[in-house]
Amino acid sequence: MTSHSQPELLGLDIQELAALVQGLGEPEYRARQLYEALYRQRAASLESVSTLPEKLRRSLSGHSLGLPRIERQYSSSDGTIRYLIAFADGQSVETVWMPEGDGGEAGDGSSAGDEEETKSGKNWRRATICVSSQVGCAVDCKFCLTATLGLQRNLSAGEIVGQVLAVLNDRGARIAEDRINLVFMGQGEPFLNYENFTKAVRLLVEGARIPASRMTVSTSGIVPRIHDLGQEAVRPKLAISLNASNDDVRARVMPINRKWPIAMLLEAARSFPLRNRERITFEYVLLDGVNDEVAHARELAELLRGLRAKVNLIALNPGPGIDFGTPADARVRAFQQVLIRAGIPTFIRRPRGRDIFAACGQLKRTVAEEPLVQLQP
């Protein structure tokens, strides 16, 4: 919970909204209208919700809509935008917009569809939003800038949802027409804010109509919550931030490994109920001279043997105060080839927004430093 002066509507589910409007003497169907306005129509204010009678809008005036404010945004040369999003108590997190499908950016020409998008002022076909679940993070991964913040507080379900809605509004996205993917990989460990995170997922699926199949949640390895997620009726796909092929290295770079070592983590992964054609993603940040040897790749291949899995390799995105180096491209490719030869689908994740501290592991609410590109109003 956050200490806001007014109770917020964003974050309430349909049952909670029904109790609210009925308590104000209104019929239950008004809850559905309010629910649609909040999550489907992404209303910016109560006054703009014309489906509700003026009397009800006045009765709700003691409530805040709860849509967070975009305080700043930084634009990358690759089209990525890093948003600094502020909440009512003055705390803030970062949310990242990563557009895809710009024919001009890819350098592969334009189709007729691309030309239509350009005429309408839109240069993307699909996009991914990287969402935060906490202000800061308590997990203390040694290669991650967010870890240097420590944990400030959990985000409410409304604040998690609000990030997505605020960014969609800013980019003019249309859920019914645009392919929007969500990755819960921003600031914080989602499974240490499990109830709010899972409620936010349900609201985004049932309210905003973003399919769960287009969502992925990344965990550093909170084993009990991996088991819990597998039992959820509505859930994203699972990604596990592994980052090492043995306990000695993983405990060095991820202290959480001392509580839930690799054997326990992989046992949870093997028991996770996968849907048809679904794989668990293992994320592996490559640190020069630490976990990027061919021998490490062979160890990793053995660990993942028999799992329906894929691996995303991420060459370290550097940042101030991070005492690790980024491996050479040749080392990254050699690591990938070992896994591919072992039959494990393995991809090298292209860094997005590295020049504005928006890439994986770089989110630190960077506002004190000079921006690396022009700050957008």
Q: Is residue 301 scored above 50 in pLDDT?
A: yes
Query: pLDDT band for position 6 (50/70/90)?
Result: confident
Give the contacts of 234 (CB within 8 A, at least 6 positions apart): 201, 202, 205, 206, 212
pLDDT of residue 125: 84
**Binding site per annotation, positions for S-adenosyl-L-methionine:** 188-189, 218, 241-243, 317
Give 354 or 79, the one with higher predicted confidence.
79
What would you report as the CA-atom Rg of the chain, rounded to the nearest whole angstrom?
A: 21
**Residue 282 dihedral angles phi and psi, to the nearest 5°:** -110, 120
Among residues 26, 117, 283, 360, the one annotated as catalytic is: 360
Domain 14-62 matching CATH 1.10.150.530: the answer reads: yes
Among residues 94, 159, 283, 299, the one annotated as catalytic is: 94
Q: Which is it for strands 237-241 and 215-219: parallel, antiparallel or unpaired?
A: parallel
pLDDT of residue 121: 52
Smallest CA-to-CA distance from 185 within 368, 12, 349 is with: 349
User: Phi-psi category of 209—alpha, beta or left, where left has phi over 0 and alpha has psi -120 to 50?
Assistant: left
Query: pLDDT band for position 372 (50/70/90)?
Result: very low
Smallest CA-to-CA distance from 170 within 113, 88, 92, 85 is with: 85
Tell the burial category of 230 from Cβ atoms under 10 Å away from its Cβ (0-12, 13-18, 19+): middle
Cα 236–242–245 angle (5° rounding)?
150
Give the contacts of 273 (CB within 8 A, at least 6 positions apart): 230
Average predicted confidence (pLDDT) for the chain: 88
Is 278 assigned a catalytic role? Answer: no
Give 372 or 351, the one with higher predicted confidence.
351
Query: Looking at domain 69-376, what is its CATH homologous superfamily?
Result: Aldolase class I (3.20.20.70)
| 317/338 Cα distance (integer angstroms) | 22
114-136: pLDDT as tens digits = 333 333 456 778 999 999 999 99
**Binding site per annotation, positions for [4Fe-4S] cluster:** 137, 141, 144
Locus of tokens 């990358």? 76
> Mean pLDDT lowest for which of 19-28, 78-87, 275-284, 317-326?
317-326
What pairs with residue 347 in β-bridges? 312
For the question of whether the overall pTM of this predicted structure is more than 0.85, the answer is yes
Number of C-beta neighbours around residue 164 at 10 A? 22
| 375/377 Cα distance (integer angstroms) | 7
Q: Is residue 364 scored above 50 in pLDDT?
A: no
Is 36 assigned a catalytic role? Answer: no
Number of C-beta neighbours around residue 44 at 10 A? 13
Fold equal for 14-62 and 69-376: no
179-216: pLDDT as tens digits = 999 999 999 999 999 999 999 999 999 999 999 999 99
First-residue to last-residue Cα distance in the chain: 30
Q: Which amino acid is at 243?
A: N
Residues 39 and 32: beta-carbon distance below 8 Å? no
Q: Which is it for strands 280-286 and 309-315: parallel, antiparallel or unpaired?
A: parallel
| 319/351 Cα distance (integer angstroms) | 13
Helix (H, G, I), strand (E, B) or coil at 343: coil
Distance of CA 79 to the CA centre of its chain: 18
Query: pLDDT band for position 148 (50/70/90)?
Result: confident
Helix (H, G, I), strand (E, B) or coil at 218: strand
* % of the chain exceeding 70 in pLDDT: 86
**Binding site per annotation, positions:** 137, 141, 144, 188-189, 218, 241-243, 317
Smallest CA-to-CA distance from 32 within 20, 17, 53 is with: 17
Q: Is residue 68 scored above 90 in pLDDT?
A: yes
Q: Is residue 155 scored above 60 in pLDDT?
A: yes
| 311/306 Cα distance (integer angstroms) | 14
pLDDT of residue 298: 98
Q: Is residue 322 scored above 90 in pLDDT?
A: no
94-105: pLDDT as tens digits = 999 999 853 323
Q: Where are the domains of the chain?
A: 14-62, 69-376
Residues 252 and 223: beta-carbon distance below 8 Å? no
| 141/322 Cα distance (integer angstroms) | 10
Smallest CA-to-CA distance from 2 within 133, 165, 159 is with: 159
Locus of tokens 């839109």? 122
Mean of pLDDT values over 219-243? 98
Q: Is residue 2 scored above 60 in pLDDT?
A: no
| 212/249 Cα distance (integer angstroms) | 34
Locus of tokens 């949310």? 95
Query: pLDDT band for position 271 (50/70/90)?
Result: very high
